[in-house]
Amino acid sequence: MESVEKVIDEKIQGKALVTENKAENTKKLFIESYGCQMNMNDSEIVAAILDKEGYNTTQILEEADLVLVNTCSIREKAETTVRNRLKKYNAVKKVNKTMKVGVLGCMAERLKAKFLEEEKIVDLVVGPDAYKDLPNLLEEVNEGRDAVNVILSKEETYGDIAPVRLNSNGVSAFVSITRGCDNMCTFCVVPFTRGRERSRDPKSILEEIGQMVDKNYKEITLLGQNVDSYLWFGGGLKKDFKKASEMAQATAIDFAQLLDMCATKYPKTRFRFSTSNPQDMSLDVIHTMAKHKNICKYIHLPIQSGSNSVLKAMNRQHTREEYLDLVENIYKIIPEMNLSQDMIAGFCGETEKDHQDTLDLMEKVKYSFGFMFAYSERPGTLAAKKMKDDVSLATKKRRLKEIIALQQKHSLYRAKQHVGQVQEVLIEGTSKKNDNEWKGRNTQNTVVVFPKEHYKLGEFVNVKINDCTTTTLKGVAVGYSDNN
Ligand code: SF4
């Protein structure tokens, strides 16, 4: 997963996450989640573990027995946001003296016990692989001791826990398939905060999807730091695959096969996945997407830079030429595919020529969307240890501005390609701008808004696209899709 570019909807970013409460639960949990979809899915796993401990979720901070913030560490700004939230909790804790405060996620893993020294309000520090230990850690806290568990696991996939859906629209949900990342991109903290790659048993993945389908969910996003690296051979770290038995290797299940299993078993369910990695992506995945109408024709395919020398400095295991070949094959196999990107402006040593290579690559691909940031040095990464953050902030900002401007031009170009077409849209909620309009996404992951008429949340509707902006398509419903 290209870090947190693929952030969760800003509507729930940092907002109290809730679910239906149970009468028998007496304790109150206030939980917030920052960063990526993996963190959001982990917050749902944490809510499920604490539901068993008698916790209901609440949106009222002042009445909480336990406050948990699931943190992100991908950029300095993400960590500053968390520290500001902790200050807010501090004010409330002066009133609600029994309230316990815990930090979860990547920042907790990066700082470990140091978090307790740096932020006195914190009672509990729990890393992404230690959530099952929460009941024990809370016991320690309730006995007046601070508690820390930041052990990274070789096995843990939380495959045996059915996440409690938080702030759910009842239509689309995330299902995690892998954890951790073995690619050591020099700018990235993820391998240090989420550990080595391990994949989840396909049986438990299909079971969880089945439970969602039974609850009438219509779309599932398969989640992983690097979904293309998915490989099930009985459990354990991916790097130990070669040590597995011949039988285990021969019967291993890779991402293309898992995708085929999901789409075949649940033909009426829409599938998406995030996030891909160009160096691990196989064309089998693209052929599987072409084979199944219910696998959405959209891939988030981060590249970070269009320059070979910067890609090398980032330790990305591909060249710009190899990436462009992959893109060419993708468009050949599925011409209507839309791609989105992650881009970092101003990485260590980046020259003006390198920056021009990035703009040139974007011109060749014409992404429909992008997550673009100025390079932010992260403590503990290889780049921080070995490379000079030598591109000035002014240059980073200017280059980022040029990348964003070009992306906006391409987003409009891609949006205009949909005008005049009739597209299948899954209704996911009310439009932010107009209560009389529904919003949903087409198979290419572009947001579509249209008048509500008699259509309902969770229905697949055919919409005639009449107009667009850089980010949104506008249209009128012309009937139900045959997938409804
Ligand atoms: S190390 Fe590279 S592939 Fe892995 S999560 Fe970070 S950016 Fe993505």
Could you state, in order of their start, the residue ranges of all structural domains in the chain? 4-149, 169-296, 303-417, 422-480
The model's confidence at residue 13, banded by pLDDT at 50, 70 and 90, is: low
Q: What pLDDT was estimated at residue 19?
A: 78
Which of the four CATH numbers 2.60.20.30, 3.10.20.30, 2.40.50.140, 3.30.465.10 does domain 422-480 have?
Answer: 2.40.50.140
User: What is the C-alpha separation between 13 and 29, in angstroms, rounded?
Assistant: 17
Higher pLDDT pick, 261 / 237? 261
CB atoms within 10 A of CB 2: 28
pLDDT computed for residue 7 by the predictor: 43
Is pLDDT of 471 > 60? yes
**pTM across the whole model:** 0.94
The average pLDDT across 138-146 equals 94
**Do the beta carbons of residue 54 and residue 12 sit within 8 Å?**
no
Query: Is residue 14 very low, low, confident or very high in pLDDT (cuts 50, 70, 90)?
Result: low
How many angstroms does the Cα of residue 124 sit away from the middle of ligand 1? 27
Distance 345 CA to ligand 1 centre (A): 16
Q: What percent of the chain has pLDDT over 90?
A: 90
169-296 and 303-417 in the same fold: yes
Query: Residue range 279-305: average pLDDT?
Result: 98
pLDDT tens-place string over residues 306-337:
999 999 999 999 999 999 999 999 999 999 99
Q: What is the pLDDT of residues 212-259, one digit of tens each?
A: 999 999 999 999 999 999 999 998 888 899 999 999 999 999 999 999
Q: What is the pLDDT of residue 6?
A: 42
- CA within 13 Å, CB half, 255: 29
Q: How far is the CA of 334 from the centre of ligand 1 (A)?
A: 26
According to the CATH classification, is domain 4-149 in 3.40.50.12160?
Answer: yes
Query: Alpha-carbon distance 62 to 99, whole Å?
Result: 9
Burial-class residue 203 by CB neighbours within 10 Å (0-12, 13-18, 19+): exposed
pLDDT digits (tens, 9 = 90+) for 375-425: 999 999 999 999 999 999 999 999 999 999 999 999 999 999 999 999 999
Does the pLDDT of residue 8 top 60, yes or no? Answer: no
Protein residue with its CA nearest to atom 6 in ligand 1: 188
Which residues line the pocket of ligand 1, CB cutoff 6 A? Answer: 1-3, 181, 183, 185, 188, 190-191, 225-226, 277
Question: Strand 460-468 relative to strand 422-430: parallel, antiparallel, unpaired?
Answer: antiparallel
- CA 60 → CA 30, 53, 64, 430, distances in Å? 7, 19, 7, 25
Indicate if the pLDDT at residue 339 is higher than 50: yes
Ligand 1 centroid to residue 74 C-alpha, Å: 11
pLDDT of residue 5: 39
CATH architecture of the domain formed by 169-296: 2-Layer Sandwich (3.30)
> Which class does domain 303-417 fall in?
alpha beta
- The atom number, within ligand 1, closest to the CA of 2 reads 8
Q: What is the pLDDT of residue 211?
A: 96
Q: For 66-96, how does the pLDDT look when each residue is reduced to its tens digit (9 = 90+)?
A: 999 999 998 889 999 999 999 999 989 988 9
Among 432, 465, 438, residue whose Cα is nearest residue 451: 438
Residue ID of nearest Cα to ligand 1 atom 5:
1
Q: How far apart are the first and last CA of the chain?
A: 32
